[in-house]
Amino acid sequence: MARPVKHSLTLSGHRTSVSLEAEFWRAFREIARIEGRALNALAAEIDAAREPGTGLASAIRLHVLAWYRDRAEPPAA
């Protein structure tokens, strides 16, 4: 598995660093592009909605997972 890569994001005017695996960064950027949103805006929305005690990187990973799961084909019965 790839090691996390650190990138800076701006949330509510403040810079923060987030470490995600390259695959998650690609998926996160793809989601923002498909939705026509800035990456920082999407990150700020995820940040505002995350549960207390959940790190931003984990919240982004969970958002990416949920986004793709919502679009996946339902399993065959």
Residue 63 counted as domain residue: yes
At 12-59, the pLDDT tens digits run 899 999 999 999 999 999 999 999 999 999 999 999 999 999 999 999
8-46 CB burial, b ≥16 within 10 A, e <16: ebebeeeeeebebeeebbebbeebbeeeeeebeebbbeb
Kindly report the pTM of this predicted structure.
0.89
Residue 22 counted as domain residue: yes
Distance CA 45, CA 2 (A): 26
At 10-25, the pLDDT tens digits run 998 999 999 999 999 9
**Which of 8, 33, 31, 6 minimizes the C-alpha distance to 20?**
6
Residue 77 counted as domain residue: no
| Number of domains present in the structure of the chain | 1
Q: Where residue 52 sits, what CATH number does that domain have?
A: 1.10.1220.10
Residue 27 counted as domain residue: yes
36 lies in which domain range?
5-71
Q: How confident is the model at residue 2 (pLDDT cuts 50, 70, 90)?
A: confident
* pLDDT at position 74: 76
